[in-house]
Structure 1
């Protein structure tokens, strides 16, 4: 099961114009049997944490970070299970100029945050991965590829019991379909792809590290993906405009849908299915 907790890009954008699609930044939960994987720790992570705390049961999950820009890590300090002694959290990502732990420690230190990362109650482990690597997370298998974003970004493919989902956000397209992402997304049931800009807007955003719905449909079609989820909506994009982009994408790839907070996709019936 795939559950979308945050679908916006760049900065959280609450308000009446964005309430339908949602204003929280990137966070997607993937449940594979007894294995829980979370993709990115944007502000949507806070809602997931609240839901998990309501279950009042021991918690173990793996957090896959695409990169460390604010809109992908700001939810971590507000993730309630992070402060629980019976919680186990493994954070996976690329090594930048510093380690994962050092990078995340910076946002949870004075003067910008009152609680240090080394003061949290959860058992916290980190794992650094590189493009091309494959590793196991509980019942699932995860593959890693490189995207195209300032400072670097990782894309992930999660496979479980013959089903697969690809998460490729904050990546900018090339003149051709990105061969690394095409290989990662080949035959995937669901492709979640950065569609922050329209093709018309992109002309003034070259080099900013984001893509369009049109290039998302090109990638989905080339890779033979079962469905395309348009993700990382521009924070200024109203609900009505997101729906317009969804309609335009379906002209090129009918199995396209815009990500919305609260949306769920059953991977057991992913191909050809609409989100709940």
Structure 2
């Protein structure tokens, strides 16, 4: 487990964290585009995007990629039956786990699904009905008895218990949204999927993540790879560090790994990133960061 402590924290601040209520982030899937199981991805993980945030009594999930299958199996072992599931967008790698997410089928659960990225008149319910219908899938979306839906517009904010949730539009084909959550003076931003390069959106993202304690950022590519992937909707690990330095992000976390990126390659990125920012991390499936 990564405890989120670094040289930027004093002993007194560490004591305050110890006394504070839990605010943690756990990675259940860290890949983008498609699951990538295999011998070369065992250490960092091959499941697609799925995040679990615990803030006091709140459980907030971000995206429901293939990693959500194991997350759901773990959640049903606990006593918490009210969950909020925030989608960044509805590309397949971010929603393919929902048909296998156990709490969604149980009427004893309240799984409130939020989405606000749509650039047309689509809605989250429509998308799920499309992927959960024959001949694509044998179980209809109507069987998700524990699920309800809420829509918002990028820029909206609201509270989930004591957690303040803020949203922002990202630069991604078909639309995507980022999230910032603030809980008892601590903050977390999730910026995925996003392609930097649009000055207006980049300025908004920089203001959005300013001074955040932990930023999870789309680091699908390297700077060298990006030139052949312009328009694909993703950023680089080097941009994550540049953005962090400009905006005083205390801990940047590289995320949404290219499915072709091996563990050994991610080791090299992790080493180079730490040389630039001592508190930088590369997201690892199964690990937890305490904020």
> TM-score category by the smaller chain?
over 0.9
Deviation at 1:18, TM superposition (A): 0.1
Alignment of 1:116-265 (within 5 A): 116-122=140-146, 124-174=147-197, 178-265=202-289
**Partners of 1:202 and 1:8 in 2: CA distance:** 17
CA–CA distance in 2 between the matches of 1:248 and 1:205? Answer: 22
SS of 2:252's partner is strand
Structure 1 194/257 Cα, relative in aligned 2: closer, same or farther at 3 Å?
same
1:58-69 aligned at under 5 Å gives the runs: 58-69=80-91
Tell me the SS of whatever aligns to 1:249: helix
Moved runs in structure 1, 4+ residues, more than 4 A? none
Any idea what the Cα deviations from partners look like across 1:114-157, whole Å, max 9, x if unmatched?
A: 111112231x2211111211111122110001111111110000
Distance in 2, Cα, partners of 1:120 & 1:134: 27
Shift of 1:58: 4.8
Distance, in Å, in 2 between the alignment partners of 1:34 and 1:91 is 18
Deviations 1:150-208 (A, max 9, x none): 11110000111111100001100117691111111111100000000011111111111
Q: Distance in 2 between matches of 1:32 and 1:129?
A: 22
Distance 1:206 1:249 in 2: 23
| DSSP 3-state at the match of 1:17 | helix
Give the structure 2 partner of residue 21 of structure 1. Answer: 44
CA distance in 2: counterparts of 1:249 and 1:129, whole angstroms: 35
Which range is displaced more, 176-185 or 194-203? Answer: 176-185
Greater alpha carbon shift after TM alignment, 15-24 vs 125-134? 125-134
Name the Cα RMSD after superposition: 1.3
Partner of 1:11: 34
Which of residues 30, 47, 72 is equivalent to 1:49? 72
**Structure 2: any 5+ residue segments left out of the alignment?**
1-23
TM-score by length of 2: 0.88
The alpha-carbon distance between structure 1 residues 139 and 175, as it changes in their structure 2 partners (threshold 3 A), is: closer
User: Does the C-alpha gap of structure 1 residues 119 and 228 become closer, same or farther in structure 2, counting only changes over 3 Å?
Assistant: same
Q: Which runs of 5+ in 1 are unaligned?
A: 268-276
TM-score, normalised with respect to structure 1: 0.93
Q: CA separation in 2, counterparts of 1:168 and 1:127?
A: 20
